Structure 1
């Protein structure tokens, strides 16, 4: 048996190689990098030599912080690569996905969790807040391309902007679930007024404002500060990491929504000098960090699966999970698009690809760490099943569907993918 440290170096090296090579290998294949990571993790943690089971409920604080890190990195990358200038009308598809699709998803999943799964009201709301937002981490093939790449059709823009904003907007529902759990435990009273004024109005508004201010500041320091040379001329990608961490930490220190702030910071940073080449370099830098961190989380997720993560599931849970993935998101998506003057194929793609993943892991860990919820192991099993289904189903279908869509738009899918970052469900 090799020394554990040497074995760890081998595993890390293998992960780095996968980050570099697999997107090219799977460019045309109906298979994704996240699928391979989950399979790799399941195989690795099935070995008897591996000394621990990476169950999220066993390491709740580590789970929360690790998934939190991956999400904020992904949100910065998503915001930087959006070419479209922020405008209420031009972002109309985003408001439909947030204001109609996401809100309906929260209501339907809460109802299913409470009436069908038999969860308490607090657990049902937590489940809805966890599963309603789509994931910015596992969706690169259905997102826009790198800055100034031009691969920003309505489908890719809608799914990218939705994933960037709904990660922050899911938090009020998670906080509602926490408040309900504390009320049930006799630790809190008269929660609604505080939830509405603080968790909804203040924390969303402040997250938007702080995110814009930090983005503006970093944009000025990078592109407009009257010093020579400017930061943009140094080509140092670490500046985008600094913007990410400062935006998130300042917002969280003020007890507001850091996820929302990071995405707005990215949009404001990009707006400072929209056509500068440095945006491409910053995006590429943050993307490499994101992919590496994502692979670590998904390898651990694969290990959790073989360690018994799904053991608490009941037959009824499986049926409800299938309904959420195949019925609830597509149906609420199509309802949100009523009256939208876009081709049917675009609406169907956006409605179908409601990917769940790392963000859902974070919200559940955050909620369970903050308040006493009944059936935490069952919630982890249910969310794990949803994410596994999403990774597998969407990972297998995204490449053929998006290649077909590109052809229907008169684009060469191989040319489009060659400038993108490849398959990552």
Structure 2
């Protein structure tokens, strides 16, 4: 494919990415669905056949591109969440109740469910089945924009209707799914490492203690601490610096969000912590430094645009790879696992998590029956799963790697289609019902 053709096609694709969010706002068609479809059409062009799109041929490139895409999305959702998180206050624990339930109950149950299907039905080795469960367990902050909170609320709102719309978007459903996506991308890592340790061989009961102490507790703690520290320092500089020249919030320079993302991730990885958790924690702490300042919206806006560009690239290439043989190793086992995850395992695990001993629906953090169904069902799979598989295959020789790539790619596409079609009407119906309840209450 010539350089001019590449510029032309990506220019048209970028224009499409800019127009799609507005054009599909009120219809059951999500931008990721259209972008994957465009990628498939591009993959059918004769010129596209000159480039290999096999993930095995580009493991490092796939790892870094998907890694950065997830990082940008994590920074965006961290800046967008309006609810405070102060673990010293019981009220905050209660307000975040659906999130803790999804993380501590739904995600382990999802890993277990997929691993059991992979081992018992698909005949995978236990370690490979566990890896598949860990790869597919986390929900995605990249492709779930239709069921996530919008831009951050600030004090400088001129349009009351715009403020009312954004406040409506900060409901318990969107908040729960956004915070879950922000946290579980990092919390899935211990299980990916466990699978890799098992694949490498020699995993014993003594190794289990090391895994629990370092990969579960140590790396999570380091990631969170580095993220909170980076967010606190940068927030102090941006909003409260004694020097006017260093008080970036007064100058409106939004690239601080990108600097914070890179610093938090790099710092956490250097000391051995989970960088994904560090970025989300950094964004949350940076937001808490001055919650109502208009600079928060400026930072979120630049991150959102970068996320849109990265999503465009990933989805176009994914669509092209689908028509270039990415799914050629897919069989009935992969289809079964994908559909079971999207239609049964995640909805059932999510329902168990939020419905057992639930909080009163009239309290903050409480969900009614319809909201529980929505939170349980809309566990979107996406770029994070592609990253985890690329990371795993870059660090160990994983049996049935080609089949795993086909299965994970098919799962992502199935999630994009199913959740993309149902998200807009489902959320519109829930918003309308919530409005009626508020009007009568």
Q: TM-score range by the shorter chain?
A: over 0.9
CA distance in 1, matches of 2:223, 2:244: 32
Change in Cα spacing, 1:189 to 1:330, as seen in structure 2 (3 Å) is closer
Using the alignment, how far apart are the partners of 2:11 and 2:326 within structure 1?
Answer: 27
2 CA distance for matches of 1:401 and 1:187? 45
Structure 1: distance between partners of 2:17 and 2:204: 46
Q: CA deviation at 1:187?
A: 9.5
Displacement after TM superposition at 1:12 (Å): 2.3
Alignment of 1:20-169 (within 5 A): 20-50=18-48, 51-86=50-85, 87-148=92-153, 149-150=166-167, 151-169=169-187
CA deviations 1:232-258 (Å, max 9, x no partner) are: 011111110000000001111112100
Q: Name which of 270, 287, 293 aligns with 1:253.
A: 270
Q: Distance in 2 between matches of 1:245 and 1:391?
A: 28
Check the 8 A contact 2:222/2:272 in 1, yes or no. no
The more displaced of 91-100 and 41-50 is 41-50
Query: Counterparts of 2:204 and 2:372 in 1: how far apart (Å)?
Result: 43
Per the TM alignment, residue 310 of structure 1 is displaced from its structure 2 partner at its CA by 1.3
1:350 aligns with 2:375: yes
Measured after TM superposition, the shift of residue 189 of structure 1 is 9.4
> Pairwise CA RMSD of aligned residues?
1.4
Q: Residue 394 of structure 2 is aligned with which of 341, 346, 369? A: 369
Q: CA deviation at 1:32?
A: 1.0
Do 1:122 and 1:373's aligned partners in 2 also have CA atoms closer than 8 Å?
no
**Shift, 1:55, TM fit:** 2.3
Name the CA distance, whole Å, in 1 between partners of 2:23 and 2:344: 32
Structure 1 residue 326 displacement after superposition: 0.1
Does the aligned pair in 2 maintain the 1:53–1:303 contact within 8 Å?
Answer: no
The counterpart of 2:290, out of the listed 259, 268, 273, is: 273
Partner of 2:208, secondary structure, is helix
- C-alpha separation in 2, matches of 1:40 and 1:69: 22
Match of 1:195 in 2: 211
| Maintained 8 Å contact 2:114/2:337 | no
Aligned residues: 407
**Structure 1 residue aligned with 2:419:** 394
Report the Cα offset of residue 224 of structure 1.
0.6
**Matched-pair contact (CA < 8 Å) for 2:17–2:35:** no
Deviation sequence 1:23-49 (CA, Å, 0-9, x none): 111111111111111111111111111
User: What's the offset of the Cα at 1:188?
Assistant: 9.3
Partner of 2:89: none
Secondary structure of the equivalent of 2:94? Answer: coil
Choose the corresponding residue for 2:225, options 184, 201, 209: 209
SS at match of 1:58: helix
Corresponding residue of 1:172: 190
Deviation, structure 1 residue 142: 0.5
Distance across 1 between alignment mates of 2:302 and 2:21: 16
Distance 1:85 1:133 in 2: 23
Pairwise CA distance, 1:118: 1.0
Structure 1 gaps of 5+ residues are 412-425
Partners of 1:11 and 1:391 lie apart in 2 by 23
8 Å contact 1:45–1:53 — kept in the other structure?
no
| 1:320 CA displacement | 2.5
2:431 alignment partner in structure 1: 406
2: distance between equivalents of 1:93 and 1:279?
A: 25
Q: CA deviation at 1:190?
A: 4.7
Q: Counterpart in 2 of 1:8?
A: 6
Q: Decide whether the 8 Å contact of 2:197 with 2:203 is kept in 1.
A: no
Picking from 181, 199, 202, the partner of 1:181 is 199
Residue 191 of structure 1: how far off its partner (Å):
2.7
* Alignment-derived partner of residue 157 in structure 2: none
Deviates more, 1:13-22 or 1:35-44: 13-22
2:253 matched residue in structure 1: 236
- Render the CA deviation track for 1:85-143: whole Å, top value 9, x for unaligned: 11222111100000111111111111111111111111111101101110000011100
Whether contact under 8 Å (1:179, 1:188) holds in the other structure is no
The 1-side partners of 2:332 and 2:150 are apart by 40
Show the 5 A alignment for 1:293-308: 293-308=310-325
3-state SS, counterpart of residue 253 of structure 2: coil
Q: Secondary structure at the match of 2:304?
A: helix
* 2:47 match: secondary structure: coil
